[in-house]
């Protein structure tokens, strides 16, 4: 399996994304912004399609799409406004994706193409993931205060910006529909399995990496889509937190 350069790059990409997505998911859940995470990933579809139409790397379209979506989501108030913005952008992306001029890459846009990751894609994902981890470390205190005291403000904006960067980093490998699973599912399990916040953050990163690696191996053995396999493995790991009380785990 690892004798192939394609699988080597895919494995490194899965590990890199897991290290960034797991800890980020913890903060998203603590600050109750899971709906924003789902919305932001879906709303960038128009940017992805335009990038495909223009023949440029998807990461540039993802960045533009996420920027527009983040501005609109930050501008509206309440879940209803966010839902309207997301539905509108996703609908626009669907129209563009199904137009005759669009290259047949809809599956890649929605579900990612982890096995198609190039060295350039890997470097971009690694750089963005490192930036995310640095940003989370710098914002640790303000995010912790916002999470435990229920205050938002600048912490919300910082988290939204970090989420946007993570979304751009993960879109090539996981697509805009599945990446939320790798962000939220390991974090949900970690919050149930660990007590202290540093332990939760570390465990979330480990679980996200495990989901990425196991999902990639399963996809290779069963010859199924890597992104979907990783998402299912992440969700399966999240069941650990649900089963903990029933199994009598400490």
In angstroms, how far is CA 155 from the centroid of its own chain?
A: 19
Q: What is the mean pLDDT of the chain?
A: 83
- The residue among 201, 193, 188 whose CA lies nearest residue 236 is 188
Distance in angstroms (rounded) separating the CA atoms of residues 212 and 234: 8
Q: What count of residues does the chain have? A: 250
pLDDT above 50: residue 250: no
pTM, full prediction: 0.84
Joined together, the tokens standing for residue 192 give 């149930």
CA atoms within 13 A of residue 138's CA, in its CB half-sphere: 9
Binned at pLDDT 50, 70 and 90, residue 17 comes out as very high
Q: To the nearest 10°, the Cα dihedral for 65, 37, 217, 136?
A: 100
What is the rounded average pLDDT of the residues 170-188? Answer: 85
Span 91-116, pLDDT tens digits: 888 888 777 766 656 666 677 788 88
Rounded to 5°, the CA angle 80-85-90 comes to 125
Query: Structural domain boundaries of the chain?
Result: 5-247
Q: 10 Å Cβ neighbour count for 199?
A: 12
Distance in angstroms (rounded) separating the CA atoms of residues 58 and 66: 12
Q: Under 8 Å CB-to-CB from 79, ≥6 apart: which residues? A: 35
Question: Could you give the C-alpha distances from 160 to 41, 140, 152, 164, 224, in angstroms and in order?
Answer: 11, 14, 11, 6, 32
For the ranges 23-37, 90-104, 202-216, the one whose mean pLDDT is highest: 202-216
Binned at pLDDT 50, 70 and 90, residue 56 comes out as confident
pLDDT above 60: residue 126: yes
C-alpha R_g of the chain: 17
User: What topology does CATH give the domain 5-247?
Assistant: ABC transporter involved in vitamin B12 uptake, BtuC (1.10.3470)
């Amino acid at each position: 399996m690892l004798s192939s350069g394609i699988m080597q790059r895919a494995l490194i990409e899965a590990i890199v994304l897991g290290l960034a997505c797991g800890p980020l998911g913890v903060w998203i859940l603590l600050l109750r912004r899971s709906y924003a995470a789902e919305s932001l990933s879906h709303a960038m579809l128009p940017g992805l399609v335009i990038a495909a139409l223009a023949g440029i790397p998807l990461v540039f379209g993802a960045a533009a799409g996420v920027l527009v979506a983040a501005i609109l989501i930050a501008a509206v108030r309440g879940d209803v406004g966010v839902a309207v913005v997301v539905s509108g952008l996703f609908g626009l992306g669907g129209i563009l994706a199904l137009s005759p001029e669009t290259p047949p890459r809809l599956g890649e846009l929605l579900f990612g193409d982890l096995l198609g990751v190039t060295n350039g894609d890997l470097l971009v994902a690694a750089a963005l993931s490192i930036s995310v981890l640095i940003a989370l470390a710098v914002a640790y205190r303000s995010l912790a205060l916002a999470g435990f005291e229920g205050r938002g403000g600048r912490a919300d904006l910082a988290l939204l910006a970090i989420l946007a960067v993570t979304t751009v980093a993960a879109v090539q490998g996981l697509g805009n529909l599945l990446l939320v699973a790798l962000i939220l599912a390991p974090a949900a399990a970690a919050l149930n399995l660990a007590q202290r916040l540093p332990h939760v953050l570390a465990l979330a990163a480990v679980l996200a990496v495990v989901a990425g690696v196991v999902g990639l191996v399963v996809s290779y053995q069963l010859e199924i889509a890597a992104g979907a396999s990783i998402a299912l493995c992440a969700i399966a790991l999240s069941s650990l937190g649900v089963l903990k009380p029933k199994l009598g785990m400490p």
